[in-house]
């Protein structure tokens, strides 16, 4: 084959996919080889708008960690690409890539995109079907509880590799995010780490629901803020995001008597995984306030009056709900304004919260004050709400940069609000 494009790559023994493939005798998963090939082709074709998918592939020999691979590809007259992977001159894999037409993301930071619809990004996550089998989910829950967390984490690699390979839409969304959070083109290791971190927090949610707090090492930043807020007894809003684990709050609440949290959420969008976990241990299931119902605001007010925290994830827009355009990682994005408006209407403090997963059994929980609507703002409520949303987004951006693999919005987060690059909001000190 006459190669038009050829690159060499070496995948080290520390790659996270090798931990479960296979213990004691690691070999590179085939999907990892294919992903490297796809990335090499897409980088070589950067000036075009074509994305590629696997048309056919054959694996000839296993590849051990540390081998240097040569990846070659050649365009064919029918528009496909023939590829060949070799190690020290010996064939490893070969096959064909075929075009999967997807609009290319603009790389010009000054190119203003015209929003196709103000809620396109919200529709993407709300309408996306969940992958996986209910039966396999039950089996995974059973094995995780019976065999323990170390064994379950090994099995988790198999699940993570599957989603890493067979979720192209999520892969594109993750790549677009990581490119902005890391400030460079993400490699396969970067993108796998994000998928595995997501899978790890879902697995740990099961153990938290069963009150296995002894399994985790948790550090807390801003614990004194929570202590003082609990002591006031008037409740507060706790705003998180799909960043890390919100469920780790249950372990924090166990350390801090009086810290009670009710989650306000659209139950129809609650994941099947969460529903299974709640069914597995109803005693530890969190109190849920179903948004979209007439009595939702009354229930939120009652919980606050009882001194509870009302938790909400405030990073995803939905349908035609009010939203604000804010610069996030250098591009305009839509963020819902409803949570902050509710806090302003009920005159309560707002605290940013995230539970960052930092590998192994370690979580770092962060609490930061965003606003206190119990005190009148001289600039007026509307200005105070907009400023509070900007502070929330600034904190979100700061932790996306410090812990980039904790972002679990696997879709095009900026679609529908894209605009020329904007200055980043300043994180509150």
Q: Is the pLDDT of residue 115 over 60?
A: no
What residues contact residue 341 under an 8 Å CB cut-off, 6+ apart? 322, 385
- H-helix or E-strand containing 353? strand 349-357
Indicate whether 123 pLDDT > 60: no
pLDDT at 359 exceeding the cut of 70: yes
Q: Write out pLDDT tens, residues 262-305.
A: 888 876 555 555 555 555 555 556 788 887 666 788 889 899 99
**pLDDT given at position 110:** 32
DSSP SS3 for 12: coil
CA dist., res. 151 & res. 400, Å (int) = 29
pLDDT beyond 80 at 136: no
pLDDT of residue 109: 32
Measure the CA–CA gap between 302 and 327, rounded to whole angstroms.
34
Summarised one tens digit per residue, pLDDT across range 186-210 is: 999 999 999 999 999 999 988 988 8
Residue 118 has pLDDT above 60, yes or no: no
Give the pLDDT of residue 401.
97
Look at 172-176, 296-300, 349-353, 364-368 and tell me which has the smallest mean pLDDT. Answer: 296-300
Q: What is the rounded CA–CA span in Å between residue 143 and residue 312?
A: 31
Percent of the chain with pLDDT over 90: 37
Assess whether pLDDT exceeds 60 at residue 309: yes
Task: Give the lowest-confidence range in 35-44, 112-121, 364-373.
Answer: 112-121
- pLDDT of residue 49 exceeding 90, the answer is no
Residue range 233-259: mean pLDDT, rounded: 86
Bond into 429 cis (ω within 30): no
Task: Yes or no: say if 371 and 306 are a contact pair by the CB < 8 Å rule.
Answer: no
Q: Which of 48-52, 232-236, 319-323, 375-379 has the lowest mean pLDDT?
A: 48-52
- Contact predicate 80/98, CB 8 Å: yes
107 pLDDT more than 60: no
C-alpha angle 120-125-131 in degrees, rounded to nearest 5:
145
Residues in the chain: 429
Q: Most distant CA pair in the chain: distance in Å?
A: 73
Residue 113: what pLDDT? 31
What is the reported pLDDT for 27? 82
Mean pLDDT of 111-131: 45
In order of start, what are the domains of the chain with their CATH numbers?
A: 1-104 (3.10.129.10), 110-429 (no CATH)
Least confident range of 90-94, 150-154, 254-258: 254-258
Q: In this predicted structure, what is the pLDDT of residue 229?
A: 92
pLDDT of residue 347: 92
Average pLDDT score over residue span 53-61:
81
Above 50 in pLDDT, residue 52? Answer: yes
| Gyration radius of the chain over CA positions | 23
Q: What predicted TM-score, i.e. pTM, was given to this entire model?
A: 0.69
User: In this model, does residue 5 exceed pLDDT 70?
Assistant: no
Shortest CA distance to 74 belongs to which of 48, 37, 30?
37
Choice between 132 and 263, residue whose per-residue pLDDT is larger: 263
Neighbours of 72 (CB within 10 A): 19
Nearest to residue 400, comparing CAs of 144, 178, 88, 133?
178
DSSP lists the bridge partners of residue 261 as: 309
What's the whole-number mean pLDDT along residues 250-268?
Answer: 77
pLDDT (average), residues 337-361: 93
As a whole number, the mean pLDDT across the chain is 80
**158 pLDDT tier (thresholds 50, 70, 90):** confident
**Per-residue CA distances from 272 to 133, 135, 145, 398 (Å):** 10, 12, 18, 30
Residue 80 has pLDDT above 90, yes or no: no
């Amino acid at each position: 084959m006459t190669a038009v494009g050829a690159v060499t790559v070496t995948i080290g023994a520390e790659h996270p996919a090798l931990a479960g493939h296979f213990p004691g005798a690691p070999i590179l998963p085939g999907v990892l080889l294919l992903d490297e090939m796809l990335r090499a082709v897409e980088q070589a074709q950067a000036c075009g708008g074509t994305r590629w998918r696997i048309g056919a592939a054959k694996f000839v020999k296993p590849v051990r960690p540390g081998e240097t691979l040569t990846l070659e590809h050649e365009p064919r007259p029918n528009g496909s690409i023939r590829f060949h992977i070799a190690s020290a001159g010996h064939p490893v894999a070969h096959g064909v890539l075929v075009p999967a037409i997807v609009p290319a993301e603009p790389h010009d930071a000054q190119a203003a995109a015209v929003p196709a619809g103000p809620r396109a990004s919200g529709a993407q996550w709300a309408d996306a079907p969940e992958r996986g089998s209910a039966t396999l989910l039950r089996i995974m829950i059973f094995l995780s509880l019976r065999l323990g967390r170390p064994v379950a984490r090994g099995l988790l690699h198999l699940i993570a590799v599957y989603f890493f390979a067979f979720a192209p839409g999520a892969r594109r969304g993750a790549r677009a995010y990581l490119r902005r959070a890391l400030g460079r083109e993400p490699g396969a290791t970067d993108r796998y780490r994000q998928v595995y971190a997501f899978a790890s927090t879902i697995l740990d949610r099961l153990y938290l629901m069963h009150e296995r707090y002894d399994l985790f090492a948790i550090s807390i930043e801003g614990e004194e803020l929570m202590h003082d807020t609990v002591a006031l007894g008037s409740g507060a809003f706790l705003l998180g995001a799909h960043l890390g684990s919100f469920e780790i709050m249950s372990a924090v609440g166990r350390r801090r008597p009086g810290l009670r949290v009710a989650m306000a959420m659209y139950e129809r969008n609650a994941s099947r995984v969460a529903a299974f976990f709640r069914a597995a241990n109803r005693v530890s299931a969190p109190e849920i306030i179903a948004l979209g119902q007439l009595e939702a605001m009354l229930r939120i007010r009652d919980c606050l009056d009882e001194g509870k925290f009302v938790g909400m994830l405030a990073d995803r827009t939905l349908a035609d709900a009010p939203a604000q355009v804010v610069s996030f990682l250098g591009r305009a994005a839509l963020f819902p304004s409803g949570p902050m408006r509710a806090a302003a209407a009920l005159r309560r403090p707002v605290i940013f919260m995230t539970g960052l997963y930092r590998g192994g059994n370690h979580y770092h929980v962060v609490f930061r004050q965003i606003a206190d609507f119990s005190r009148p703002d001289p600039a007026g409520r509307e200005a105070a709400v907009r400023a509070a949303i900007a502070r929330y987004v600034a904190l979100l951006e700061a932790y996306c940069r410090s812990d980039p693999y904790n972002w679990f919005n696997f879709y095009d987060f900026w679609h529908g609000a894209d605009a020329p690059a904007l200055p980043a909001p300043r994180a509150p000190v």
